[in-house]
Structure 1
Amino acid sequence: MRPNRILHPELARALATLGHTDIVLVTDAGFPIPAGANRIDLGFYEGLPDICDILRVLRQEIFVEEVHFATEVRDRNPDLYANLQEIYTGAGAVFKGTTHEELCADYAKRAKVIIRSGSFNPWANIALIASTDPFAWFSPESNTKVLPAYEERRRLMTEKVVPALA
């Protein structure tokens, strides 16, 4: 057993395969997961596990540069929106709004892994765009110029910026 690490073997394996820009889609219990998708089904009872519990664990396990979700979350599900802000404060991730239809039609087909929760939380379908550690790839001792996007992610992390939909 690995203390303080993901115990679910399929989930741990799937996360280990992620590369920069791969999509991890974390969904509510009713999300229409496409046939043939790399589906990891964690939902076993209404609300268990909750999507926010899964996202909190993933926050500790992977670097994320973008968090995509239906724009309705901000105005129609403020508790979920506040939870997303709390989870991703200081993560260097940018919030991006989309539609539920786009999550179903586009993101679900492109996702490297889809994790289904037991959540019955409205609009609780979150696409995470995987990233690399912006501090590890460009060391201060190197003569390599840091890309502006990495500089911005470093700033967001260092200043513990609370993300928000634009």
Structure 2
Amino acid sequence: MRPGRIIHPALAEAIATLGHTDIVMVTDAGFPIPQDANRIDLGFWEGIPDVRDILRVIVGEAFFEEVHFATEVRDCHPSLYADVQKIFTGSGAAFKGTTHETLCGDFAHRAKVVIRSGSFEPWANFALVASTDPFAWFTANSGVKPLPAYVERRARMTAKEVPALG
């Protein structure tokens, strides 16, 4: 066993194979997962595991530059929104509002992996866009000028910024 690491073999493999811009969907129990998707089904009982638990673990295992979710999370489910803000604080990821239809259609079909939770709550569906480590790829000694997006992410991470939908 690997202490302090993901022990679910398929989930560990999926996270280890992420490249820049790959999409990971973390969904509630009722999300319509495409038939041909790389599906990791962790849900086995109502609320177990919760989507928040999965997000917490994944944020500790990979870098993400964007988190897409339905704007209803902010507008109609403030407790979930606050929890997700806390989970992604200091990650450097930008929050992007979208529609539930876009998550079910576009993002679900482009996702490298779809992870289903046991959550039974509205709008608990998130598309995470993988990134590289903005500190490792553009070091002070490399002589390479980082792109503005990397500078901004590093600043958000250093400041432990709480992400918010604009």
Give the TM-score normalised by structure 1: 0.99
Distance 2:161 2:16 in 1: 27
Distance (whole Å) between structure 2 residues aligned to residue 135 and residue 10 of structure 1: 28
CA shift digits 1:86-143 (9 cap, x unpaired): 0001100000000000100110000000000000121000000000000000111111
Greater alpha carbon shift after TM alignment, 139-148 vs 42-51: 139-148
> Helix, strand or coil for the counterpart of 1:74?
helix
Give the counterpart letter for 2:82 in structure 1: A
Deviation at 1:36, TM superposition (A): 1.1
Q: What's the counterpart of residue 161 of structure 2? A: 161
Task: Map 1:2-151 to 2 at 5 A.
Answer: 2-151=2-151
- Say which SS state the counterpart of residue 53 (structure 2) adopts: helix
Counterparts of 1:101 and 1:139 in 2: how far apart (Å)? Answer: 39
**What CA distance in whole angstroms lies between the structure 1 residues aligned with 2:122 and 2:165?**
18
Moved runs in structure 1, 4+ residues, more than 2 A? none
CA distance in 1 between counterparts of 2:131 and 2:119 reads: 26
RMSD across aligned C-alpha pairs, in angstroms? 0.4
1:102 and 1:141 mapped to 2: Cα distance? 41
1: distance between equivalents of 2:61 and 2:141? Answer: 27
Within 1, Cα distance between the matches of 2:142 and 2:106? Answer: 39
Q: Which amino acid aligns with 2:81?
A: Y
**How many residues are matched?**
166
Q: Which amino acid aligns with 1:32?
A: P
In 1, the alpha carbon distance for the partners of 2:121 and 2:53 equals: 12
Q: What is the percent sequence identity of the aligned residues?
A: 72
SS, match of residue 136 in structure 2: coil
C-alpha distance in 1 between matches for 2:91 and 2:121: 23
Structure 2 distance, partners of 1:123, 1:149, is: 28
Cα shift at 1:55: 0.2
Question: What runs of 5+ residues in structure 1 fail to find an aligned partner?
Answer: none
Amino acid paired to 1:17: T
**How far apart, in 2, do the equivalents of 1:143 and 1:131 lie?**
21
TM-score by length of 2: 0.99
